[in-house]
Amino acid sequence: MDFDATLLSRLQFAFTIAFHIIFPSFTIGLASYLTVLEGLWLTTRNEVFKVLYLFWIKIFAISFGMGVVSGVVISYELGTNWSVYSRVASPVIGPLFAFEVLAAFFLEASFLGVMLFGWKKVGPRLHFAATALVAFGTLVSAFWIISANSWMQHPTGFTQLADGTLRAVSWMQVIFSPTFPTRLAHMVLAAYLTTALVVGAASAWRILKDPDEDASRIALKMAVGMFAIAAPLQLLVGDASGKLVLHVQPAKLAAIEAFWETRTEQPFHVVAWPDRAIDGNRWEFSVPALGSWITSGSTATEIKGLKAFPPEDRPPVFIVFWAFRVMVGLGVAMIALGAWGVWLYWRNGGPHHSRPFLWACVAMGPAGFVAVIAGWIVAEVGRQPYVIYGVLRTADAVSPVRASQVSVSLLAFLVIYAVVFSVGALYILRLIAAGPNAETIEAAGPRPPGYALAAAPLEPEDQA
């Protein structure tokens, strides 16, 4: 394979956006979680919720910072590396990105300052409002980004001019393209699950160290509740999303399931080794006829195989097939974890008594991130060879830049992101290891607990 500017730009975009998605998928959920914690503290006045809030906000601050700086990159990378895409697509999805910045980015960035540093500067209700606005901002951000992405997956409400550029004819159809509602629900549930898994793992870890830690027990209970509700719901939403793919992106569906022939009663390949070189699976372990039923609800439905598409229109099958199985496998594990946790509450007086369950929670801590990235690979690689499905090919979308430039920038991203990620992860893990009560004990002075919030001056300043 030739390392040309297109391939290098794809690698760079894939790397920078995969890095970026880690943080929003955690902070979307964590911002909502912090809102719930602060709301519970304000209404119940139970100090445990305050302790948890002050603990998780520190982790939120680190994660959000990394999300912001890696997100800024994207808003310029579309031009540096995908200038043709920008020119063609902007008339239609430009407003979606603009609204993301105007309605969400500013809201989050501004009220984040109040949330992190305003504990002593504003009253508790106003501080709660700031937390809630940050959480609302993260959801609005997800709304516009998934709207733009859904349009690129299945563009509607536009027309193409002779010069190749696009024009919107119906903004409603652009913003609310048919796959958007299910994909947004899928993403938000994924974010909530990712956060719940991290909260669950951190709390389980603390309970393993100190079985009597109240705050961690409550956090674990909340996390298990989220698994139990969101994980099964995610299965339903994911299935609905998959059934839409069958209609709007049949080539992607064929790649997801490694279907090659077009037929009814498609077998379901539990595992397989699909290979484009032989136009088939080198080996497979399959259940007859189940594939048609899973993807369409009936074994009698004729489902297109990859051979129905010209080779130049087929997405890479191996990576899509396996990424999908990783995602679904982890999703099933999340459902099992939730069911196990609920069962322990029912039978055992609480999952904090079960060391195997606590260890399982710790092990599943990173599962949300892996599942999100795997799902993103299914969506984006499965859309290939198009960047705007059926409209603009990825190879035609790239900037007139040289491979040498892109290789240097890609290398720089790899190095800097590796440093930033490992250091950020280290600091977060250190905080988790120390647990929610660590700084309450230290802070026996005039300083309020929790660094991030301790950051505000003790006395309000009156002089302007």
Partner 1 sequence: MTLDLPLVWAGILAIAVLMYVLLDGFDLGIGILFPFAGSPADRDVMMDTVAPVWDGNETWLVLGGGGLFAAFPFAYAAVMPALYIPILLMLLALILRGVAFEFRLRARKRGKAFWTAAFTVGSLSATIAQGLVLGGFIQGMTLKDGAFAGGPFDWLTPYTLLVAAGLVAGYALLGSTWLIWRTEDELHGRARLWAWISAGAVAALLAATSLATLFVHANIAARWGFENGAFDLGKLAPLLPIPALGLVGLVVAAIGLLRRAHFPPFLGAGLVFLSGYLGLAVSFFPYIVPYSMTFREAANPDNTLALMLGGGAILLPAILGYSAWVYWIFRGKVGAGAGYH
Q: Which of positions 116-145 make contact with partner 1 (CB under 8 A)?
A: 116-118, 120-122
Phi, psi torsion values for 179, nearest 5 degrees: -90, -5
Extract the tokens encoding 350.
């609480």
Near partner 1 by CB under 8 A: residue from 3, 46, 109, 282:
109
**CA distances, 293 to each of 233, 267, 289 (Å):** 20, 9, 7
User: What is the nearest approach in angstroms of partner 1 to the Cβ of residue 54?
Assistant: 15
Shorter beta-carbon distance to partner 1: residue 86 or 301: 86
- CA angle, 421 then 37 then 440, to 5°: 75
> Please, what sign has the CA dihedral across residues 227, 233, 236, 239?
negative
Which residues in 397-436 contact partner 1 (CB under 8 A)? 399-402, 404-405, 408-409, 412-413, 416-417, 420, 423-424, 427, 430-431
Q: What is the DSSP letter of 125?
A: H
Shorter beta-carbon distance to partner 1: residue 174 or 248: 174
Q: What is the DSSP letter of 287?
A: E
Shorter beta-carbon distance to partner 1: residue 318 or 451: 451
Query: What gap in Å lies between CA 204 and CA 287, rounded to an integer?
Result: 38
Which residues in 343-402 contact partner 1 (CB under 8 A)? 399-402
Shorter beta-carbon distance to partner 1: residue 106 or 283: 106
**Does residue 111 belong to the site contacting partner 1 (CB under 8 A)?**
yes
User: What is the nearest approach in angstroms of partner 1 to the Cβ of residue 446?
Assistant: 8
User: What is the nearest approach in angstroms of partner 1 to the Cβ of residue 117?
Assistant: 4
Give the residue carrying structure tokens 């790899």. 414
Which residues in 142-201 contact partner 1 (CB under 8 A)? 167-168, 171
Residue 419 neighbours by CB distance under 10 Å: 10
Shorter beta-carbon distance to partner 1: residue 298 or 422: 422
Which residues in 47-106 contact partner 1 (CB under 8 A)? 61-62, 65-66, 68-73, 75-81, 83-84, 86-87, 90-92, 94-95, 97-103, 105-106
Burial 144-158 (b: 16+ CB within 10 A, else e): bbbbbbbbbbbbbbb
Strand partners of residue 274: 281
User: What is the nearest approach in angstroms of partner 1 to the Cβ of residue 10?
Assistant: 16
**Does residue 113 belong to the site contacting partner 1 (CB under 8 A)?**
yes
Shorter beta-carbon distance to partner 1: residue 172 or 236: 172
Which among 309, 170, 203, 299 has a CA at the least distance from the CA of 253?
309
Tell me the site size for partner 1, rule CB under 8 A.
Answer: 83
User: What is the nearest approach in angstroms of partner 1 to the Cβ of residue 206?
Assistant: 19
Q: Determine which helix (DSSP H) or strand (DSSP E) holds 392, and give its type and residue range.
A: strand 392-393
Q: What is the DSSP letter of 159?
A: E
User: What is the nearest approach in angstroms of partner 1 to the Cβ of residue 152?
Assistant: 14
